[in-house]
Structure 1
C-alpha cells in the first residue's frame, strides 16, 4: 500500500486480527451468545472490541502517514511514479466520495481478506509441492525454461508461461480450499431437486465438500495438478469455488493469482521444499488453518550447482 510498517505493528495487527476471528467463531459455537443482549455483556464481546480497536488504530495510523506523505510530496512538487498506482493512493484519491469509516473498512479488507488468505494458500501449495517431488521437479524445469540461471524479477509476460505452476496452485486451492464454507441469505424461493429453500433463511455452502465431490472424478481426494491441463474439469464451471461464484465472488481473484504465482516462482527458483502433507491436521474455521504445525522445511540451492531432485 506504499507505507512501511514496523515488525511490531505487523505482529500487533495480525494478533488482533486472529483473535477477532477466534472470538467470532466462539460466538458462532455458543448459541447463547447469538442473543445480542447477552453477547454485549460477555467477555467475548469485550475481547473482540479490544481487537477491533487495535485494528482501527492501525488503519488510522496508516492513513494519517499516507496523507502526510502525499501532502509533503505536493508541497515539494515531487511526482512519485512508484506510488501513483498503489491501492491506498487510489483510495485516498476518492476521499471526497468516501467517508473515513468506508476508507478504513477498505483498508481492513485489503489487509485481512487479501494478504492473510493469499499467504496461507501459498503455504499450503508449498506443503503439497514439498510432498510431491515429481511435481516440484516439473515446476523447477518450467521455471528454468522461463528464467534460465537469471535471478531477475518476475515480469507479467513470465506469469503467462507458468502453466504447470498455475495448475499446481489451482489444484492446491481445490484440495485445501482456503474458505471452507460461505453463507448466503435467501431472498426468494429456490426449488432444488429434493427440497425447496424458503426466503428469509441463510444457506451454508460447504466448499470443502464441493471440491472433493465425485464430479471431479474418482481421484477427487488426490492431489493431481495434471487434471487442470488434461481437460478433465467438471462440466459445471462453478465446481471450482476457491474465489466463490456469483455476484459476491472475490473481486481480487486475478490480482491474487498473479501475486501467488510471483511469490511461488521466487521461492522455487531459490529453494528446494521438503514437506509431508499427510501429517497435517486441519482446523475448519473461517479460514482453513493447520492445527498441528506445518511440517515443512526448505533448503537453499547452490548458485552454481543446483540440487537435483531425485
Structure 2
C-alpha cells in the first residue's frame, strides 16, 4: 500500500537513489492504487466478499492465522471456522480467495456436477511427481482415462485380488505377532508403520504385478511419499512459493526434486518388471519350482490395472511410457497410503472403544469359527458390523480430509454466487465432524451406519471417497482390502491403549489424514498364531 507510506525527505531521497524521479514515482504509485481499487471493487471480489469470512489483515488476508502446524490447521479450518462462520465461509491468502464448504447440501451441487470437475490449482504442485495423470487432469483427457481404467475395477476382477489380500494378511499377522513379542519400552507397538508396509505390499502385488519382498527397497519410497505430501501442504500455505521456478530454487524445492526421483525410480522398476514378465509369458524357466510357476501363472491371470496400461501403450498409440508411470505413481500412492491410514485409525478407534471391539470379535468368531481359512467375498458381505465400524472410522478420520475444485462457470450455492475462477475447498473432515450433520461427532458410534439409521441421511453426508463423477475409482478395491485384512487381524489380536488417560492421537492435515506420530497400541494375541506363510 504505497500510498500510505509517509512522504518525507529521506524517503524521497531514497526513491531518487533508485533512479525514480518524483513524477515517475507518482505515476507508478497512482497506477498501483487504481489497479488495487479496480480489483477491490470488481464483481468477482464483491461476490466473494458477501460470503462470511474470518477477519484477516491487509495484504496477507488469513495467511498469518494459518501459519501453524498441520494439527492446528485441521482444527482451525475444519472445526473452529465452520462453527463460527457456518458451513460456507471464505478465507483469503493475500489476494486469492478460497471458499470452504462443510455441509452435504452445499457440497452436492459441486460434487454431482458433470461440469465442475476441474481440480483446484493446489493439485498442480504434485505435477512434477504425478504429471498429467487421471487424478490431476480434467476435461476430455480425464474422461478418456477414466473410461479406459474403470474396467480394471470391475467386481469380477476385484474378486481375483482376494488371494493377495489373504496372503498378505497372513504375513501381517506374523509381523504383528513379532512386534507384540518385542514392544517398545512402554509396551506399545506402532501399528501404523506395520500396516503401511502391508498396504504397499498389497498394492504392488495385486495391481502392479510385483511382490515386494525386500523391505529396504521400499523404505526410501515410503519416506519420499510421506515427505512429498508434507512439502505440498507447506507450499500451499506460502503464496510466495506458488511459482515453480522460485519453489525449485528453495531448499524445499530441491528436497521435492529428490523425492520425485526416488518415487519415479521405484515405479519405473515396477513397470519394467511387469513388462519383462509379460514378454516372457511363453518362456519356460526350468530353474523355478512348480509351486513358483503356479504362483506366477496365478499372478498373470489376476492382474488387471498395470496390464491394462501396458496394453494401451502398444506402439505408443494411446499411452506413452510417461503416461503409464503417471498412472502407476497415482495408484501406488492412493492405493496404499489411504488404506494404511484407514486401517490404523480403525485399530485406534476400537482400542479406545472396547465394547465395540468385543462385538467385532463376536462377529468374526461366528463367521470364521476360530479357523485360519481365507476370507471370501461372501464373508466380506456378511461382516455387517465390521462394515459399520469401518464406515464410522472413515467418518471420523476420512483418509482424504478435503478436496479442492476450481469453479469453471458461475454457480449459486447456499444463496451466494460463486464466480468462475474461484477456488473451493470441500471440507470432508469438517463436514463429517459437523454436529448439524452428525450429533456427537467426536464419539465413535458404528450404529450410525446401520440401515435403519442411515436410510434417511443425506446422500452426500458420508463421502470418504468423495462423490459424483470424480469419486474414487478404487473405493470398492479399498473396502474389500480393509475387510479382509481387518477380519484377519481381529481373529488373532486384541488392541488397547497403553494409557487410557492419554489425550486423543492428533491427526495431521496433509493430503492424507495421517496420525501425527503414528498409532501406538498395546497388542495381545487372542489365540495362538499358527499361520504358515
Aligned counterparts, 1:69-108, within 5 A: 69-76=277-284, 80-86=297-303, 87-96=305-314, 97-108=318-329
Aligned counterparts, 1:109-188, within 5 A: 109-188=330-409
Quote the residue 1:2 is aligned against: 209
Larger Cα-atom Rg: 2
**TM-score under structure 1 normalisation?**
0.92
C-alpha distance in 1 between matches for 2:518 and 2:221: 22
Give the secondary structure class of the aligned counterpart of 2:470: coil
Give the secondary structure class of the aligned counterpart of 1:188: coil
Aligned pairs, number: 304
Unmatched runs of 5 consecutive residues or more in structure 2: 1-207, 286-292
Q: Deviations over 1:17-57 (max 9, x none)?
A: 11211221221122210133422322222111111111111
State the Cα distance separating 1:260 from its structure 2 match: 0.4
C-alpha distance in 2 between matches for 1:281 and 1:50: 28
1:226 is aligned, of 428, 447, 457, to 447
Quote the residue 1:18 is aligned against: 226
State the Cα distance separating 1:230 from its structure 2 match: 5.2
C-alpha distance in 1 between matches for 2:503 and 2:513: 16
Shift in alpha-carbon separation, 1:232–1:278, aligned structure 2, 3 A: farther
Asked if 1:58 is matched to 2:283, the reply is no
Q: Is the 8 A contact 1:128 1:172 kept in 2?
A: yes
Between stretches 81-90 and 182-191, larger displacement belongs to: 81-90
Shift in alpha-carbon separation, 1:137–1:264, aligned structure 2, 3 A: same
Between stretches 41-50 and 74-83, larger displacement belongs to: 74-83
C-alpha distance in 2 between matches for 1:93 and 1:152: 35
C-alpha distance in 1 between matches for 2:410 and 2:349: 41
Quote the residue 1:235 is aligned against: 457
**TM-score under structure 2 normalisation?**
0.55
C-alpha distance in 1 between matches for 2:503 and 2:391: 19
Unmatched runs of 5 consecutive residues or more in structure 1: 305-310
C-alpha distance in 2 between matches for 1:232 and 1:30: 43
C-alpha distance in 1 between matches for 2:468 and 2:230: 28
Quote the residue 2:526 is aligned against: 301
> What do you get for the CA RMSD once the two structures are aligned?
2.0
Quote the residue 1:288 is aligned against: 513
Structure with the largest fraction of helix: 2
C-alpha distance in 2 between matches for 1:139 and 1:254: 21
Quote the residue 2:484 is aligned against: 262
Give the secondary structure class of the aligned counterpart of 2:302: coil
